[in-house]
Amino acid sequence: MKHHSLIFLTGFSGSGKSTIGPLLANSLGYGFIDLDQEIESKAGKSITKIFAEEGEQTFRNLELETLRQLTGKKELVVSLGGGVLENNDCYRLIRENGTLVYLKSSPRSLARRLCNKTDRPLLKGEHGTRLSREEIELKISTILEKREPRYATADLSVQTDIKRIGSTVEELTRTIIRFVRQAEQARLKQQSDNNREKQ
């Protein structure tokens, strides 16, 4: 059953999921889970190591299994890894069980935020060479284009590259409370209509 208070935050790496997620959860009075950290804790190793030692398929299986365990929960904010929505099974679970919120940022803002992080495979070229900011921006644009159709299906979307974190969290909190309330009212009305039809 879909719980609208189970909030999934999606967006490109660097869009603010890990920063905004805990603040948003605190503001809503919800719990918070970072899906990647949850996977690392289960596996007992970093995602980089899972990829290197066991391959992408093992990581994707862990991702799906971890996500499955969260789908019955309510009043929880879950920060998703950048590529989760590309996994069809994960995408279906998310859409069927909670509210999807897209944190949107421009390739330029994302490249600026990410270019000082040395641990991201995204920031490296074919042979592990470091990319320039322009090359990173181009790479981000290409990946975003591929992911955009799924991002576009989010229930709510907020721009994170123009506002301060605080005002983004305030705006999201108000929007989510309103959305969850309306969705719950619609669900109760539907339930009431169904009961009347059965009588």
- Alpha carbon distance 132, 75 (integer Å): 41
The annotation places the binding site for Mg(2+) at 18
The annotation places the binding site at 14-19, 36, 60, 82, 120, 147
Per the DSSP assignment, residues forming a β-bridge with 173 are none
The annotation places the binding site for ATP at 14-19, 120
Beta strands in the chain (DSSP E): 6-10, 31-34, 76-79, 99-104, 156-159
Per the DSSP assignment, residues forming a β-bridge with 22 are none
Q: Is 126 helix (H, G, I), strand (E, B) or coil?
A: coil
The annotation places the binding site for substrate at 36, 60, 82, 147
Buried residues in 59-69 as b, exposed as e (16+ CB within 10 A): bbebbeebbee
- Alpha carbon distance 129, 139 (integer Å): 14
Q: Which two structure tokens, joined as six digits, stand for 183?
A: 């969705």
- Alpha carbon distance 40, 171 (integer Å): 31
